[in-house]
Amino acid sequence: MKKTLAISLMFAGALGALSATSAQAIDTKARFMAANCAYCHGPDGKSRGAIPSLAGLEKGYFVDQMKAFRDGSRPATVMQKHAMGYTDAEFEQLGAWFAALK
């Protein structure tokens, strides 16, 4: 049991040290929605291959692109289908989240 505790403590400490954001208030809804995008756009918004990265995009640009996908003014393969499923407020939340990723 002592060993179990020691292991838990080591990990709580080691990983806690890596997550510097823990003290700030986190928009958990935005965090989840953004994580949802990762299976195509890569973990933390950093893509491998032809699909664009989202990390660090300027918020206004992100929101404008999502709206352009939704109304069809920016041609797309899959993105119109995704853009049509989200609200404007969610575009703003996602844009803020990805803008903050480095």
Q: Return d(Cα 22, Cα 56) in angstroms, integer.
A: 20
Half-sphere exposure (Cβ direction) of 48: Cα atoms closer than 13 Å = 3
Pattern 22-61, other proteins, x by CB under 8 A: ------xx-xxx-xxxxxxxxx--xxxxxx----------
CB of 67 to other proteins, least distance (A): 13
Residue type, 58: E
84 binds other proteins, rule: CB under 8 A = yes
13 binds other proteins, rule: CB under 8 A = yes
10 binds other proteins, rule: CB under 8 A = yes
86 binds other proteins, rule: CB under 8 A = yes
* Residue 54 CB neighbours (<10 A): 24
Are 89 and 64 in contact by the 8 Å Cβ rule? The answer is: no
67 binds other proteins, rule: CB under 8 A = no
89 binds other proteins, rule: CB under 8 A = no
